[in-house]
Amino acid sequence: MKSHFMFPLLLVLLCHFFVCESSCINYGEALWKSILFFEGQRSGFLPKDQRMSWRGDSGLTDGVMGGYYDAGDNVKYNFPMAFSTTMLAWGVVEFGDMMPPEELRNTLVAIRWSTDYFIQCVAHRGRIVVQVGDPGIDHNCWERPEDMDTARTVYTVYEPNAASDVAGEMAAALAASSIAFRPSDPQYANKLLSTATRVFGYADTYRGAYSDNLDIRPGVCPYYCDFDGYQASISIHDELLWGAAWLQKAWKLRRISRSNYYLDYLKQHGKTFGATDNIYEFGWDNKHAGLNVLVSQFYVEIEVTIFDSGFQEVLAENLYDFESYKVNADSFICTLVPNSTYPHIKYSPGGLIYRPGGCNLQHTTSLTFLMLVYAKYLEQSSKTVNCGSVTVGPAYIRQMAKRQVDYILGDNPKGMSYMVGYSNKYPQRIHHRGSANPSIKHHFRPIKCKEGTFYYESPNPNPNLLVGALVGGPGEDDEFADDRSESSKSEPTTYTNAPFVGVLAYFAANPQTI
């Protein structure tokens, strides 16, 4: 389907002045490197086929072994880890059939590294492990994960204490992963789904933010508090709705009696839990835009079924119940259209989506993923989006998404790729302890807490290449200093990379998208 308007002229003209045109971008190479990054973040015993060879075993005395370090430190935060897992799984659900078989396998391996860990975290009923590692102590050191001698505190929530945010996201991660694994490992998929159902029960029964727990708060704040995703005072419960949406999608796939329970949950609680609020954020702390895009698929499915069923009246009622999700998903897309009459998101002069706060590329990759997913849903239903002054269709939305991907991979004013190890020019001094310190494979003596300061302050490039890592990225002026002390720009995170895997899978299969 053709869009009704050409891509904004300003962004098209900008492309001609950048060092690397999109024609020189290899999406397939970027895809396998974006997946490889997760091997550099692994905690626990590393397998024999570990490809990020400069890494070694770590976190072997953790109360719960495995999982991922979230960024350039050595703490395992379950809240952002769960979101990263959900996004990896969603990428497989939507675009896995476009991935080369080897990369699909590697993505499923990356997903399982965290889902196996989450299963351990919720193994005991009435108890949820939400984090491993004391961040205050850890952030005071610059040491390799293999050398950790800091406190590996296990932060745990026990019933009846609340954990709707982190438990809701863990339920979403497990449910989404069950869908991703169902074609290749249905037994494991069933285990993930049953665990997700139980974890969601905890999240829904004991409603509230995990960071409000005084035993937990000192360890999770100010790093991964739920700042705005769960606010009881204004009835926003985004992780509960998000978890329910993924459980609905997963149970429906199994076609058994529970398949409509979560659909009813979304209908019953959508308004009171804030689903009708126009919130255009999407990331580890706020699921609203993603929720609206995901649930809008249910709307499309009901709408299509109306015309093939004898139950038009009942289905029409269901259609009305989910209309607000679809309306908000349309509005979200309109905020990304620069020449629409809607208030829209900010772009840098070079054309990059920019949101205030640290690690800007986490917003860019997540929002770009949603663009592609929604373009797919629109195409399936032969729909367009009316943005007031303009009407846009799937082709236009995909072009907007492609512009973001190309910018990240080097088609930008700096001529720099913001993925480590991709192209000839990329960040060399990333804020990452394992990458910046000498590898344990070559420097056998432990590097203690403060001994790593020497390497942190060094002007030299990092000795170990964290291939595929997306850094925080440039500022709103498109400038980037490549300085490991400027963590908001130079630190990679799992939740920046995870959405990008699905995005790259699409463009690797469709490089000439217009």
Place of tokens 């269709």: 393
Q: Rounded distance, CA 239 to CA 75, Å? A: 22
Tokens of 182: 């169902």
Q: Rounded distance, CA 102 to CA 109, Å? A: 11
Residue of 147, 30, 27 lying closest to 467 (CA atoms):
30
Tokens of 42: 């692994």
Residue of 237, 288, 431, 432 marked active site = 431
Tokens of 65: 């072994």
Cα distance between the two ends of the chain: 11
Tokens of 203: 């999240």
Query: Residue 348 in contact with residue 354, Cβ under 8 Å?
Result: yes
3 state SS of 264: helix
Q: How far lies 150's CA from each of 45, 60, 69, 117, 345, in Å?
A: 19, 13, 15, 21, 41
Place of tokens 């059939």: 97
Q: Which neighbouring-strand residues pair with 386?
A: 391
Q: Rounded distance, CA 5 to CA 62, Å? A: 54
Q: Which residues of 365-399 are buried (b: 16+ CB within 10 A; e: fewer)?
A: bbbbbbbbbbbbbbeebebbbebeebebbbbbbbb
3 state SS of 157: strand
Half-sphere exposure of 73 (CA within 13 A, CB side): 18
Tokens of 88: 């990896």
Tokens of 54: 């400069």
Q: Rounded distance, CA 139 to CA 448, Å? A: 13
Q: Which residues of 304-333 are buried (b: 16+ CB within 10 A; e: fewer)?
A: eebeeeeeeeebeebbebbebbbebbbbbb
Cα 505 to its chain centre, rounded Å, is 15
Name every residue whose Cβ is closer than 8 Å to that of residue 367 and which is 6 or more positions away in sequence.
282, 289, 336, 345, 353, 404
Q: Examine the residue annotation and report whether 237 is marked as an active-site residue of this protein.
A: no
Q: Rounded distance, CA 151 to CA 110, Å? A: 26
Name every residue whose Cβ is closer than 8 Å to that of residue 60 and which is 6 or more positions away in sequence.
44, 45
Give the other-Cβ count within 10 Å of 48's Cβ.
Answer: 4
- Give catalytic residues, as residue numbers: 431
